[in-house]
């Protein structure tokens, strides 16, 4: 896991500015504190900051082969198999990121079809002056680009591009409306005008300061549901899950996992316990707050049954107010998902013992675990509902203008997913895989962990697992009113202590209650922020915070608090300066 960045300038542009290169390097230093490197050839510059996970000795980047050089952020899990499949190649390192370079030399832009992993990659070929930029099909690892004076710039994080001074700090209203209404933004365009995401699975071929070609690899297999029985599906699923977790454990440094009280992480721990001779190190977060969903007790039961070493942390209200400004600051591409809070604290704790953690992200999307999927399966006349039909502020009157056209990105994803042969359930899953997963869940994991230089791995988001699970019949995904049916059946056989058929508790952070405890104080501070004054009525914001104990008003207050802190850092360019109250008071 690392951070990458670079410049691809036109022939008539000045050479890469050393100050810009330095700004890019500094801005992604937290992603790779173990070393840095760069190369500048003509009008092309590649930058790399390294978090050493595999090949601690010879894996520094850029890596070179012939007239080509590569920088990569992520892990190529099948690197050993790729090396064996290329006996003619004389590798110069043991790095997992060197095989992709030789594959590119052999296959051109089709090289990524052979990769199994998570990655943002840039390959520069000096003779043709081309730079090939690629992101993994699930969008696990981030990658951004922007048109800048003289050409293109790219980086693992959007804030790196902003910090060069080549991109103006501003807000794109459409993305802001999405953020307010659904807590993330969709599509290729970010909230920053001019900064775009390389989409999941996308490869861009660039030269002379512009994009020449685009291609894309799908994460999910094509086709209608297949005909397969439960027993055969369970056997196939067992093979796919074991292989994926085995691959995701490849590391030259210590690793552990994040354990909740749910099905997904219990599945990951079950497989890790099967594959490891020593006890697996599992980390769980909980909240000591009346009515909060605290998963530590159930997680402890699962950990004990599987012989894991279990470490727990308690996230308190005081901890959140103290660190919330820096937590929000790490989310440059904004995601108002309060699950970032325990994720950030878990990563801080995990870094004391490990550099790699496995987690269960993607399980709900691959195996159809969300309640909204069960609703989407039904036609409207039987009570079916459109996913995310209502926004967070539809019934909360504080904004100066009601967000308009905020569902356009969701509608575009729905149109793309509605292909012949797809069931309603498959379409709903694919809609989430297009935006919710990469632009909320995975972005949250990436930034929350990389803030502490911890690598996060997601075994459910694997080509082999997708091929084994996505085209299963709907009845093996949703059965008797429960999602993730086949995964629950597998867990029932392999770890009954996980209670896979117990009612889903759901993971919540008591942020609404905490805001309610400080409502009057927070309301005044949030209402006076420039970013909030621009979009909301200050008096109504104060009133909202005073009644934020209810779920709807509490969540709306959380989003405004998040946006106020985010706008202050990433638009006004002001770093956090103390706890949440001190930071908001420092106008």
d(CA 199, CA 216) in angstroms, rounded, equals 8
CA separation, residue 295 to residues 288, 303, 350, 492, 508 (Å): 11, 12, 18, 19, 10
The rounded Cα 161 to chain-centroid distance in angstroms is 19
**114 inside domain:** yes
Q: How many domains does the chain have?
A: 3
CB contact at 8 A, 55 and 142: no
Contacts of 554 (CB under 8 A, 6+ apart): 511, 512, 513, 515, 516, 548
515 and 492 assigned to the same domain: no
350 and 486 assigned to the same domain: yes
CB contact at 8 A, 336 and 563: yes
DSSP H or E stretch at residue 442: helix 442-450
**421 inside domain:** no
Q: List helix spans (H) across 139-226.
A: 158-163, 173-182
**423 inside domain:** no
**385 inside domain:** no
Q: Is 54 helix (H, G, I), strand (E, B) or coil?
A: coil
- What angle, rounded to 10 degrees, do the helices at 340-350 and 317-329 form? 90
> Which of 498, 530, 546 marks a domain boundary?
498
Q: Comparing C-alpha atoms, which of 269, 277, 265 is closest to residue 305?
A: 269
- Locate tokens 């832009």: which residue? 109
d(CA 41, CA 62) in angstroms, rounded, equals 12
Contacts of 234 (CB under 8 A, 6+ apart): 486, 489, 490, 493
**382 inside domain:** no
152 and 191 assigned to the same domain: yes
The two structure tokens encoding residue 234: 């369970």
554 and 486 assigned to the same domain: no
CATH of the domain at 199: 3.60.20.10
319 and 192 assigned to the same domain: no
Sort 539 into a burial class: Cβ within 10 Å, 0-12 / 13-18 / 19+: exposed
The two structure tokens encoding residue 307: 């012989």
131 and 201 assigned to the same domain: yes
> What is the pLDDT, as a whole number, of residue 548?
66
The pLDDT tens digits of the residues spanning 304-321 come to: 999 999 999 999 999 999
251 and 281 assigned to the same domain: yes
d(CA 208, CA 196) in angstroms, rounded, equals 19
Contacts of 582 (CB under 8 A, 6+ apart): none
pTM, two decimal places: 0.96
Count CB atoms within 10 A of the CB of residue 574.
Answer: 15
Which segments of 90-208 are extended strands (E)?
Answer: 117-125, 130-135, 144-148, 151-155, 195-197, 202-207
Domain that holds residue 551: 511-585
- What angle, rounded to 10 degrees, do the helices at 551-570 and 317-329 form? 50
Contacts of 262 (CB under 8 A, 6+ apart): 295, 360, 504, 505, 507
The pLDDT tens digits of the residues spanning 44-64 come to: 999 999 988 887 777 899 999
> Which of 216, 245, 262 marks a domain boundary?
216
Q: Comparing C-alpha atoms, which of 514, 513, 522 is closest to residue 551?
A: 513
DSSP H or E stretch at residue 557: helix 551-570
According to DSSP, the β-strands at 2-9 and 151-155 are antiparallel
291 and 152 assigned to the same domain: no
**12 inside domain:** yes
> What is the pLDDT, as a whole number, of residue 506?
60
**224 inside domain:** no
Residues in the chain with pLDDT values less than 70: 1, 291, 382-383, 504-507, 548-550
The two structure tokens encoding residue 118: 């998570």
CATH of the domain at 467: 3.40.50.620
CB contact at 8 A, 243 and 46: no
68 and 205 assigned to the same domain: yes
CB contact at 8 A, 305 and 321: no
**268 inside domain:** yes
> Which of 151, 183, 216 marks a domain boundary?
216
447 and 530 assigned to the same domain: no
The rounded Cα 106 to chain-centroid distance in angstroms is 31
Q: In the 8-state DSSP scheme, what is residue 195?
A: E
140 and 70 assigned to the same domain: yes
**Beta partners for 277?**
none
**Beta partners for 309?**
281
197 and 259 assigned to the same domain: no
């Amino acid at each position: 896991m690392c951070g990458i960045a670079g410049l691809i300038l036109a022939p008539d542009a000045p050479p890469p500015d050393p100050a810009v290169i330095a700004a890019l390097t500094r801005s992604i230093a937290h992603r790779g504190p173990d070393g840095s490197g760069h190369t500048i050839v003509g009008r092309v510059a590649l930058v790399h900051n390294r978090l050493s996970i595999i090949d601690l000795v010879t894996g520094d980047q850029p890596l070179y082969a012939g007239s080509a050089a590569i920088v990569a952020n992520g892990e190529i899990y099948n690197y050993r198999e790729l090396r064996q499949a290329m006996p003619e190649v004389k590798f110069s390192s043991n790095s997992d990121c060197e095989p992709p370079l030789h594959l590119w030399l052999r296959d051109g832009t089709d090289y990524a079809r052979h990769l199994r992993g998570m990655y943002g990659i840039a390959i520069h070929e000096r003779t043709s002056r081309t730079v090939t930029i690629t992101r993994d099909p699930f969008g696990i690892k981030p990658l951004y680009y922007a048109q800048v004076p003289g050409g293109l710039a790219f980086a693992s994080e959007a804030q790196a591009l902003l910090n060069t001074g080549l991109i103006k700090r501003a807000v794109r209203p459409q993305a802001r409306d999405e953020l307010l209404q659904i807590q993330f933004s969709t599509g290729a365009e970010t909230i920053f005008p001019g900064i775009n995401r390389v989409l999941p699975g996308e490869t861009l071929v660039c030269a002379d300061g512009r994009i020449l070609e685009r291609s894309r690899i799908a994460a999910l297999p094509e086709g209608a549901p297949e005909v397969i029985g439960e027993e055969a599906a369970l056997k196939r699923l067992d093979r796919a899950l074991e292989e994926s977790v085995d691959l995701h454990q490849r590391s030259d440094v210590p690793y552990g996992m994040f354990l909740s009280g749910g099905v997904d992480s219990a599945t990951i721990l079950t497989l890790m316990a099967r594959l490891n001779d020593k006890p697996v190190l599992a980390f769980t977060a909980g909240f000591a707050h009346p009515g909060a969903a605290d998963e530590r007790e159930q997680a402890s039961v699962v950990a004990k049954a599987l012989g894991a070493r279990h470490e727990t942390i308690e996230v308190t209200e005081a901890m959140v107010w103290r660190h919330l400004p820096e937590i929000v600051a790490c989310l440059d591409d904004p995601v108002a998902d309060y699950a970032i809070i325990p994720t950030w604290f878990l990563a801080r704790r995990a870094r004391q013992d490990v550099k790699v953690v496995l987690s269960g992200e993607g399980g709900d999307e691959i195996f159809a675990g969300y309640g909204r999927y069960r609703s989407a399966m039904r036609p409207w006349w039987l009570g079916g509902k459109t996913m995310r039909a209502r926004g967070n502020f539809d019934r909360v009157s504080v904004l100066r203008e009601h967000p308009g056209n905020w569902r356009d990105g969701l509608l575009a994803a729905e149109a793309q997913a509605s292909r012949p042969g797809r069931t309603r359930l498959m379409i709903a899953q694919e809609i989430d895989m297009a935006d919710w997963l990469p632009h909320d869940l995975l972005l949250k994991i990436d930034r929350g962990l990389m803030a502490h230089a911890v690598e996060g791995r997601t075994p459910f988001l694997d080509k082999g697992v997708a091929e084994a699970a996505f085209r299963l019949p709907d009845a093996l995904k949703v059965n008797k009113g429960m999602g993730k049916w086949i995964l629950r059946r597998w867990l029932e056989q392999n770890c009954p202590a996980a209670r896979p058929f117990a009612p889903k508790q759901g993971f919540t952070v008591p942020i609404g209650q905490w805001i309610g405890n400080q409502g009057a104080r927070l309301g005044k501070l949030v209402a006076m922020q420039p970013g909030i004054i621009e979009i909301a009525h200050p008096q109504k914001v104060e009133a909202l915070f005073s009644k934020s104990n209810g779920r709807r008003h509490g969540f709306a207050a959380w989003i405004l608090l998040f946006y106020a802190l985010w706008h202050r850092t990433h638009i006004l360019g002001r770093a956090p300066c103390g706890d949440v109250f001190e930071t908001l008071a420092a106008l």
